[in-house]
Amino acid sequence: IKRLTPRIDVLINNAGVALRSEPLGLQKAAELTVSANYFGTKRVTKALYPLLSDHGRIVNVCSYLGRLAEVSEPIQKRFSDPKATEGSIDNLVEEFFTGVKEGDYKERGFNDSMYSAYGLSKLALIAWFKVLAREAMADPRKILVTGCCPGWCRTDLSE
């Protein structure tokens, strides 16, 4: 990418995989969904961040399924902690994975719906972008990190 363009003005993160647990099984669907939506977006953002121009922008396409209301109050507090770090958010994601593996993710405070992994991945991404926004404020390039939710979109992929 650096050979094609030395600078990027706007990075739009629009990863969105929402796999149902059938026929893959919840554990595999959760791993694939969170890997693409959360970990993949983080990797791309970190790789391209050094190429952002002065006053560059990072826009994260969010989802209403990534709301804090989708998890228990103790989990909400941890995701919304103003002192949250990338590590603390990663720990919450790992707790979800452990709960899925052990079959007690609902008891641990995570959402029990057919899109629980998707919602968790988007919630984690929103929380991580808040961390990134704090860090970007100290960047002399004055990079703005923001998010938006376009709402549900009817596409061939959403059927």
Question: If you count them, how many residues does the chain have?
Answer: 159
pTM for the whole structure = 0.89
Question: So what's the pLDDT on residue 152?
Answer: 75
Whether the predicted pLDDT of 158 surpasses 60 = no
Question: What pLDDT digit, counting tens, does each position of 75-94 carry?
Answer: 999 999 999 999 999 999 99
Whether residue 14 is contained in a domain is answered as yes
Residues 32/49/124/84 CA torsion (nearest 10 deg): 140
Question: What pLDDT digit, counting tens, does each position of 107-149 carry?
Answer: 999 988 767 888 999 999 999 999 999 999 999 999 999 988 8
- The answer to whether 118 is a known catalytic residue is yes
Whether residue 3 is contained in a domain is answered as no
Domain with 81 in it:
8-158
Whether residue 127 is contained in a domain is answered as yes
Number of domains in the chain: 1
Q: How would you classify residue 151: left for phi > 0, otherwise alpha for psi between -120 and 50, otherwise beta?
A: left
Q: Is 129 exposed, middle or buried (0-12, 13-18, 19+ CB in 10 A)?
A: buried
Whether residue 2 is contained in a domain is answered as no
Whether residue 152 is contained in a domain is answered as yes
CATH of residue 135's domain is: 3.40.50.720
Contact 94, 75 (CB under 8 A): no
Strand partners, 10: 57
